[in-house]
Chains A and B, each alone.
Chain A
Amino acid sequence: RKEVEQDPGPFNVPEGATVAFNCTYSNSASQSFFWYRQDCRKEPKLLMSVYSSGNEDGRFTAQLNRASQYISLLIRDSKLSDSATYLCVVNRKAAGNKLTFGGGTRVLVKP
């Protein structure tokens, strides 16, 4: 079983709609959680950190459920520019600053 699992998608989303997807992690000792965005043939870029109480950044909302070991990302009012692969990333203090990446969820926003 992979340490971080994501639905690869693609999620085809009409422009202006809301899309949400989850990521599950297997190691209960995971401590830091992030969503990264990766465009085709580019490096990943930090979208947002995920905090225990949940957090929002503009149209993006992230939630963490430690009991069920999953995190979620919701995108409201989708823009064409939101089309990308969203990577779920976790970190364990015991592993130093090493990050473990999920396989990514591809989102395609269409007019």
Chain B
Amino acid sequence: GAVVSQHPSWVICKSGTSVKIECRSLDFQATTMFWYRQFPKQSLMLMATSNEGSKATYEQGVEKDKFLINHASLTLSTLTVTSAHPEDSSFYICSTTSVSYEQYFGPGTRLTVT
């Protein structure tokens, strides 16, 4: 069964609005979750590491004020894309990790900004 869920699975929003994506760990408590972005025909790029109870750590080039991450509980992390623009249209995927470094991915959220 699914280990990680994401909601919504797809969303269309207007330019300038904000969109919140939820990532839930279903089978275990996740102190760490990862957020990735994937553009068409490209591989996954890590955006940030979400740490329960503390600030997220962002990869170089990812604006922390634009991509707000909140990891308020051991089963839920949220990514909010603020003031979305068409170039933010992408496939956003979260993941949790096991002790053996295997990662389990959520089904992804396809964001289209018009």
Q: What is the interface residue range for chain B against chain A?
A: 20 to 34
Interface of B is mostly: strand
Q: Which of A11-19, A52-60, A72-80, A90-98 contacts B (4 or more CB under 8 A)?
A: A90-98
Interface membership of A45, Cβ < 8 A: yes
Cβ of B82 within 8 Å of any chain A Cβ, yes or no, is no
Residue numbers in A under 8 Å from B90 (CB-CB) = none
Question: Across the interface, which residues of A come within 8 angstroms of B108, CB to CB?
Answer: 42-43
CB distance from B35 to the nearest CB of A (A): 12
Q: For residue A1, which residues in chain B have a CB less than 8 angstroms away from its CB?
A: none
Cα A103 to Cα B46 with chains together (Å): 13
B residues contacting A by CB (< 8 A) are 32, 34, 42-46, 49, 91, 93, 97, 100-108, 110
